[in-house]
Amino acid sequence: MTPEQGRKSVRGPAAVSQANLRERVKELTCLYGIAQIASTFDLSLKSKLAAIVRLLPPAWQYPERACARITIDGQAFPTPNFREGACRQTANICIAEKKRGAVEIHYPDDRGMIGKAPFLTEEQHLIDNIAGQISLMIEHEEARTAKAELQKQLIKADRLAAIGQLAAGVAHELNEPLNAILGFAQLTQKSPELPAQARKDIERITNAALHARNIIRELLIFARQGKPGSTQVNLNQIIMEDLNLFAPLCEKAGVELRRIVAPDLPEITANKSQIRQVISNLIVNALQAMPGGGILMLQTSFDATSVRLRVDDTGIGIKDELKDSIFLPFFSTKDVDQGTGLGLSVAHGIVSSHGGEICIENKTGKGACFCVTFPRHPETVTREESL
Ligand SMILES: Nc1ncnc2c1ncn2[C@@H]1O[C@H](COP(=O)(O)OP(=O)(O)OP(=O)(O)O)[C@@H](O)[C@H]1O
Ligand SMILES: [Mg+2]
């Protein structure tokens, strides 16, 4: 009840309705202001919340004594004069039925309010309404960000597909002349009257051609669609085999190997040698990122629809500005003899052709973390779920 309402008998019905009207005008002004801020496109969510919170105290009965705070995901947006008070009114901000924060009005100076009801019923409706509007605004904002992210990924996927086609074409065209170079070089090497220097030079030609053929083979794998020769593959088993292979190298580099495998990991339908190549490429990258030693961790997990592999290292890490480029063919930060920049693009091509995804995960600590997700074989899902 407003003080004006309390003095109903003294001031008469006209004065009371005028006071009520004034309160409603204040509420509407506040809600209108919030709607305007919410629909401003060029403001960030943080700026919007910081602007909205300032509109709240004037809508309450004692604006000069009120202060407000909006909290969302642990981040607070208070009015400049904010102090907590015993007299407070709150409403939760819920998005998708999950509490994400709250709107609060406080009267830090509660002199003269103790024992009285400092907040009106209408004010509880108002604060609930404000929390609802903020929830909607955040929901829209998050949907917009998710859409923009999806568009970015689609553009990247398109670009990768185009590069894949181009790479396949070039690799195909180069394969034939390269085989001729290799064949003739090997033939010439067999000639008995070849001078020693010429033999050495031809050996160099052979080695260079073999290196080029390897690159072309990787390019063709990157560009290949579909998954030839698929079988039921257990990631845990591949990890074991691969790690055995890499163990001596890790020991030499001072890298500790850790393995956390999910028991009863479901099998996936995949081409085993291609999956092995993905894991090897990720392990090699991790080792190259830890020249002074560190920890390499491989971890498998699964849920109802997918099987996941995480490769985690404590190496040099990947700068934010490079994260968009590292899956592109020939993108490398390494010396020419250390990397061609095909490892991750090959891995991306293989994982995509298996209907999966490969991405960099955000990491709090030092190093980089790659997460590979494969879809579970549909039959496996149905069989287990029907048990
Ligand atoms: N674990 C990692 N830590 C830090 N940087 C990484 C890691 N993995 C990849 N990168 C970055 O991504 C780039 C691209 O990796 P990618 O495997 O495609 O090529 P590369 O390792 O440079 O060469 P290649 O694999 O063909 O020998 C690397 O040059 C490196 O900058
Ligand atoms: Mg690599």
Q: Which of 124, 145, 166 is the last residue of a domain?
A: 145
Give 305's contacts (C-beta < 8 A, 6+ positions apart).
375, 376, 381
Nearest-CA residue for atom 5 of ligand 1: 318
Same domain, 131 and 83: yes
Q: Does ligand 1 lie within 6 Å of residue 212's CB atom?
A: no
Do residues 373 and 307 make contact, with C-beta atoms less than 8 angstroms apart? yes
Q: Which of 223, 253, 276 is the last residue of a domain?
A: 223
Q: Give the pLDDT score at 315.
A: 95
Q: Give the pLDDT score at 173.
A: 82
The mean predicted confidence, pLDDT, of the chain is: 86
Task: Say which range, 77-81, 96-100, 341-345, has the weakest mean pLDDT.
Answer: 341-345
Nearest-CA residue for atom 24 of ligand 1: 339
CB crowding 94-113: b at 16 or more within 10 Å, else e? ebeeeebbbbbbbbeeeeeb
369 inside domain: yes
Same domain, 182 and 258: no
Nearest-CA residue for atom 19 of ligand 1: 341
Nearest-CA residue for atom 9 of ligand 1: 285
Ligand 1 midpoint to CA 359 (Å): 13
Task: Say which range, 83-87, 112-116, 201-205, has the weakest mean pLDDT.
Answer: 112-116
Tokens 């592999």 identify what position? 309
Q: Give the pLDDT score at 11.
A: 59
Ligand 1 midpoint to CA 343 (Å): 7
pLDDT tens readout for residues 67-80: 999 999 999 999 99
Give the strand order in the sheet containing 255-260: 255-260, 294-302, 306-313, 369-375, 357-360
268 inside domain: yes
Q: What mean pLDDT comes out for the span 356-370? A: 90
To the nearest whole percent, how much of the chain has pLDDT over 90? Answer: 48
178 inside domain: yes
C-alpha closest to that of 73 among 59, 90, 48, 93: 93
150 inside domain: no
Q: Give the pLDDT score at 205.
A: 92
Cα-based angle 80, 84, 85 (whole degrees, multiple of 5): 125
Residue 4: pLDDT band by 50, 70, 90 thresholds?
A: very low
pLDDT tens readout for residues 150-162: 888 777 777 777 7
Q: What mean pLDDT comes out for the span 356-377? A: 90
- Cα gap 135→142, rounded to integer Å: 11
Residues with CB under 5 A from ligand 2 (ion): 285, 343
245 inside domain: yes
CATH code (residue 315) = 3.30.565.10
Same domain, 192 and 239: no
Same domain, 136 and 159: no
Q: Give the pLDDT score at 197.
A: 92
Which of the ligands is closest to the CA of residue 321? 1
Residue 379: pLDDT band by 50, 70, 90 thresholds?
A: very low
| Ligand 1 pocket test, candidate residues 322, 344, 359, 361, most atoms within 8 A of CB | 344
Ligand 2 midpoint to CA 134 (Å): 46
Same domain, 335 and 246: yes
Same domain, 164 and 256: no
Segments forming the whole domain that contains residue 290: 231-385
Do residues 174 and 216 make contact, with C-beta atoms less than 8 angstroms apart? yes
Same domain, 56 and 165: no
Same domain, 171 and 248: no
Q: Give the pLDDT score at 130.
A: 96
Q: Give the pLDDT score at 166.
A: 78
Q: Which of 145, 177, 199 is the last residue of a domain?
A: 145
pLDDT tens readout for residues 188-224: 988 888 899 999 999 999 988 888 888 788 777 766 6
Same domain, 277 and 236: yes
Q: Give the pLDDT score at 54.
A: 96
Residue 383: pLDDT band by 50, 70, 90 thresholds?
A: very low
Residue 378: pLDDT band by 50, 70, 90 thresholds?
A: very low
CATH code (residue 108) = 3.30.450.40
pLDDT at 339 over 90: no
Residue 358: pLDDT band by 50, 70, 90 thresholds?
A: very high
Q: What mean pLDDT comes out for the span 21-36? A: 90
pLDDT at 15 over 80: no
106 inside domain: yes
Q: Give the pLDDT score at 377.
A: 63
SS (H, E, C) the chain: CCHHHHCHHHHHHHHHHHHHHHHHHHHHHHHHHHHHHHCCCCCCHHHHHHHHHHHCHHHCCCCCCCEEEEEECCEEEECCCCCCCCEEEEEEEEECCEEEEEEEEEECCCCCCCCCCCCCHHHHHHHHHHHHHHHHHHHHHHHHHHHHHHHHHHHHHHHHHHHHHHHHHHHHHHHHHHHHHHHHHHHHHCCCCCCHHHHHHHHHHHHHHHHHHHHHHHHHHHHCCCCCCCEEECHHHHHHHHHHHHHHHHHHHCEEEEEECCCCCCCEEECHHHHHHHHHHHHHHHHHCCCCCEEEEEEEEECCCEEEEEEEECCCCCCHHHCCCCCCCCCCCCCCCCCCCCHHHHHHHHHHHCCCEEEECCCCCCCCEEEEEEECCHHHHHHHHCC
Tokens of 227: 């998954």
The tally of domains found in the chain comes to: 3
Tokens of 341: 């920049």
The residue type found at 129 is: N
Same domain, 108 and 206: no
Q: Give the pLDDT score at 161.
A: 72
Residue 41: pLDDT band by 50, 70, 90 thresholds?
A: confident
Q: Does ligand 1 lie within 6 Å of residue 282's CB atom?
A: no
To the nearest whole percent, how much of the chain has pLDDT over 70? Answer: 91
Do residues 358 and 153 make contact, with C-beta atoms less than 8 angstroms apart? no
Tokens of 240: 């074991």
pLDDT tens readout for residues 247-306: 888 998 999 999 999 999 999 999 888 898 899 899 999 999 999 999 999 999 999 999
Q: Give the pLDDT score at 103.
A: 97
pLDDT tens readout for residues 327-338: 888 889 988 767
Tokens 């091509």 identify what position? 349
Tokens of 1: 């009840």
Same domain, 260 and 307: yes
C-alpha closest to that of 38 among 156, 133, 121, 173: 133
Counting from 1 in the atom list of ligand 1, the atom nearest the Cα of 340 is 26
Same domain, 205 and 309: no
129 inside domain: yes
256 inside domain: yes
